[in-house]
Amino acid sequence: MFSCVRARRAVVILWLLLLAPGAAAQQQAAERYTILFSNDDGYDAPGLQALIQAFQGYGDLYVSAPARNQSGKGHSITIADAIVVQRRATEGVVLGLAIEATPATSVRVGLEKFVPRRPHLVISGINRGENLGTSVYLSGTLGAAREAVFSGIPAIAVSMAGNSQTDYVATAAFVRRLVDDLRTRGAIKPGFFLNVNAPAGVPVGTKVTRLSVLASQQLYDCTPPATDRSACFSDYEQVKRDEPGTDVAEFFQGYITLTPMTLDATDAKAMEALRPLENRTPIAVPR
């Protein structure tokens, strides 16, 4: 009987030795860091391509981005139109998807239907032009990142002043180092939502800031109506001054701004002020 037990043990040990390399390889593959990239400027935008290049070799990279420019779409979603998904071969990317949809929908479609496993992080950008203050509610770059946070996936939105290829490369390199730092500190976890804005040229430094709530000007240039119709053109003007410590103030002093954000827009003070209104009897309406 004991010889049979020893024989069985020997067989089990042999199988474990045979399977160990495969099991280790599977575990290593499962631990590969997975990043999904998106943006609102379109799949071929230089900012997105700079990010992809900066993160080459970092882990498994996926792209799920609008096929064309979708700037200013905020968090709008594509509902009525067909969502056409085109696979794109991109160096260093496991799967690239150019999607005929808004940024938020592009992220959702990628996560729900095409990316084979849940990413550790979503990075949206690099947007052409800064996204400061209240513009975070208008920006498709922020919409794509916010959609990931809705799904419990940490996200970083990245925007940059100017349109220089040198600046795109430098900002992308900064973002890669930032991700390393955040991972080391254990900051990248569900609910993490960071808005990054880089100035053009060489930044003065980096500042952690709060969101400016000053309203930017939305101007309209309208032609006189020839008959009963007039054409109006939008001219958005970013506010450039605010209190120290806000993203607007520090950005225009030459700093890269890091603004942590949250999905919860509840006004806690107003909640307490409204408590006396609870449990009031509804007014009866004759039927």
pLDDT of the residue at 15? 41
Q: Which residues contact 17 (CB under 8 A, 6 or more apart)?
A: none
pTM: 0.84
Tell me what pLDDT residue 242 has. Answer: 80
Cα–Cα distance, 10 to 236 (Å, whole number): 74
pLDDT, one tens digit per residue, over 173-206 is 999 999 999 999 999 999 999 999 999 999 999 9
pLDDT at residue 57 tops 80:
yes
pLDDT band at 287 (very low <50, low <70, confident <90, very high): confident
Query: Quick one: which of 163, 4, 142, 148 has its CA closest to 75?
Result: 142
Kindly report the backbone phi and psi dihedral angles of residue 113, in degrees, each rounded to the nearest multiple of 5, phi listed first: -125, -20
Helix or strand (DSSP H, E) at 47: helix 46-54
pLDDT value at residue 18? 39
pLDDT single digits (tens) 73-115: 899 999 999 999 999 999 999 999 999 999 999 999 999 999 9
**Torsion angle in degrees (nearest 10) through CA of 249, 250, 254, 255:** -160
Place of tokens 């004759």: 286
Peptide bond into 283 cis (omega under 30): no
Q: Is residue 47 part of a domain?
A: yes
Report pLDDT digits (tens) over 105-157: 999 999 999 999 999 999 999 999 999 999 999 999 999 999 999 999 999 99
How much is the average pLDDT of 253-267?
96
Q: Are 195 and 124 in contact (CB under 8 A)?
A: no
Straight-line distance from the first to the last Cα atom of the chain, in angstroms, rounded to the nearest whole number:
86
Phi and psi angles of residue 65, each rounded to the nearest 5 degrees, phi first: -135, 160
Number of domains, the chain: 1
**Enclosing domain of residue 33:** 27-211+240-263
- SS3 of 143-191: HHHHHHHHCCCCEEEEEECCCCHHHHHHHHHHHHHHHHHHHHCCCCCCC
- pLDDT tens track for 230-259: 888 887 777 878 899 999 999 999 999 999
What H or E segment, with its residue span, contains residue 108?
helix 103-109
Tell me if 286 is assigned to some domain.
Answer: no
Per-residue pLDDT, 130: 95
Report if residue 225 sits inside a domain. Answer: no
What number of helices (H) and strands (E) belong to the chain?
7, 11
Give the CATH number, domain containing residue 107.
3.40.1210.10
Query: Tokens 């053109």 map to which residue?
Result: 233
Residue 108 forms part of a structural domain? yes
Does 272 map to a domain?
Answer: no
Task: Give a yes or no: residue 98 inside a domain.
Answer: yes
Domain membership of residue 268 (yes or no) is no
